[in-house]
Amino acid sequence: MNITLRQLKAFIAVAEYGSFTRAAESLYLSQSALSGLIKELEKNWEVILFDRTTRKLHLSSYGNKLLPQVRRILNEVEALDIELQNLKNFHKGQVHLAVSQQLAASALPAVLAGFQEQYPDIQANLIDCNVEQVLQRVKDGEVDFGLGPERTHGSDIESDFLFCLPFFLVVRPEHRLAKKNIINWKDLTDEALITLSSPFTDRLAANLPPQAANYVNQPRYRVNFLSTALGMTKAGLGITMCLPYAADWVRQHGLVMRPLGRPQVKRSFYLYRLKHRAASPAAQTFSQFLHTYIEKALINF
């Protein structure tokens, strides 16, 4: 069976107009060409689709039963064509993102709001998760991109640098260190430290001199989430550290941030994707938007 869309469209046109002449005109075909398409379709199906008389043309019993199905087929083909055009359109489609929890809860909402305003027909779907799950979800093909801090990854994943941010100290406004513009790590040795669980602490300590590293590795409290650390700092249980994208959280807790220096430790963030996975137009659009957003606004840091 070798059925073509031209044959099906010819069948629909003749059924709708009840005339080969008018159907041929609507399809910009000669009457003989249209008649040939109908004969080919009838031959393929081995049925008669139209009962012809000298006065009138009307659907046969086979034609009546097949017409609704042919309409559905052509509607599905049209819908498929529309979907294909949407997939090729850089202003439509979907992009799936896995984002480390802190970044997702602080900086990313503003990024997504800007993206939605500029590209309202692209749906950005967000999965907020811990840093290690970001890479796993990329590797499993669940998402187009992963956004998170630097991590070691396999050769099947490629990383695209986004930005680099320094660590800040977070204290209550009345704390003695709040009066300093820049705080050195040696200033912290007598303070109760509230820090996050590994590997956050391990990676931070690895970039510090021995005395500061020892201080970070032996905190008074170790918690899983920054929101917990900020709440404990607000309660006067100690001091904590964060990156500047958490500035709104810090202010909401009535706390202040001060830059940490000597040495200044920074954390780099990357956009991760499967190396051999072709990016959809929507994903390419998001990547370009994200880089432009960071370049212009530095995520308001």
Q: Specify the pLDDT at position 113.
A: 94
Residues paired with residue 157 on neighbouring β-strands, in sequence order: 274
Mean pLDDT of 153-171: 92
What pLDDT digit, counting tens, does each position of 29-49 carry? Answer: 999 999 999 999 999 999 999
Residue count of the chain: 301
Q: Specify the pLDDT at position 138.
A: 92
What pLDDT digit, counting tens, does each position of 44-64 carry? Answer: 999 999 988 767 788 999 999
How far, rounded to the nearest angstrom, does the alpha carbon of residue 252 sit from its chain's CA centroid?
28
Per-position b or e across 5-41, b if 16+ CB within 10 A of its CB: eebbbbbbbbbebeebeebbeebebeeeebbebbebb
Ramachandran bin of 66, using left for φ above 0, alpha for ψ from -120 to 50, beta for the remaining angles: alpha
In what order do the strands lie in the sheet containing 239-242?
A: 183-184, 256-261, 168-171, 239-242, 193-196, 221-223
What residue ranges do the domains of the chain occupy?
5-88, 94-164+268-300, 168-264
Q: Specify the pLDDT at position 130.
A: 86
Distance between CA 115 and CA 291 in Å, rounded? 12
CATH architecture of 168-264: 3-Layer(aba) Sandwich (3.40)
Whether the model pTM is above 0.95: no
CATH architecture of 5-88: Orthogonal Bundle (1.10)
Q: Are 90 and 138 in contact, with CB atoms under 8 Å apart?
A: no
Mean pLDDT of 209-222: 92
How far, rounded to the nearest angstrom, does the alpha carbon of residue 128 sit from its chain's CA centroid?
11
Residues paired with residue 268 on neighbouring β-strands, in sequence order: 164
Of the pLDDT bands very low, low, confident and very high (cuts 50, 70, 90), residue 237 is very high
Dihedral, 209, 212, 215, 217 alpha carbons, nearest 10 = -40
- What's the CATH fold of domain 94-164+268-300? D-Maltodextrin-Binding Protein; domain 2 (3.40.190)
In what order do the strands lie in the sheet containing 93-100?
A: 122-129, 93-100, 145-149, 266-274, 157-166
Q: Specify the pLDDT at position 301.
A: 46
What pLDDT digit, counting tens, does each position of 92-146 carry? Answer: 788 999 999 888 988 899 999 999 999 998 999 999 998 889 999 998 888 999 9
Q: Specify the pLDDT at position 88.
A: 67
Are 5-88 and 94-164+268-300 the same fold in CATH?
no
Q: Are 183 and 169 in contact, with CB atoms under 8 Å apart?
A: yes
Q: Specify the pLDDT at position 299.
A: 46
Q: State the distance between the two ends of the chain, measured CA to CA, in whole angstroms.
A: 64
User: What is the 3-state secondary structure of the chain?
Assistant: CCCCHHHHHHHHHHHHHCCHHHHHHHCCCCHHHHHHHHHHHHHHHCCCCEEECCCCEEECHHHHHHHHHHHHHHHHHHHHHHHHHHHHCCCCEEEEEEEEHHHHHHCHHHHHHHHHHHCCCEEEEEEEECHHHHHHHHHCCCCCEEEEECCCCCCCEEEEEEEEEECEEEECCCCHHHHCCCEEHHHHCCCCEEEECCCHHHHHHHCCCHHHHHHHHCCCEEECCHHHHHHHHHCCCCEEEECHHHHHHHHHCCCEEEEEECCCCEEEEEEEEECCCCCCHHHHHHHHHHHHHHHHHHHHC
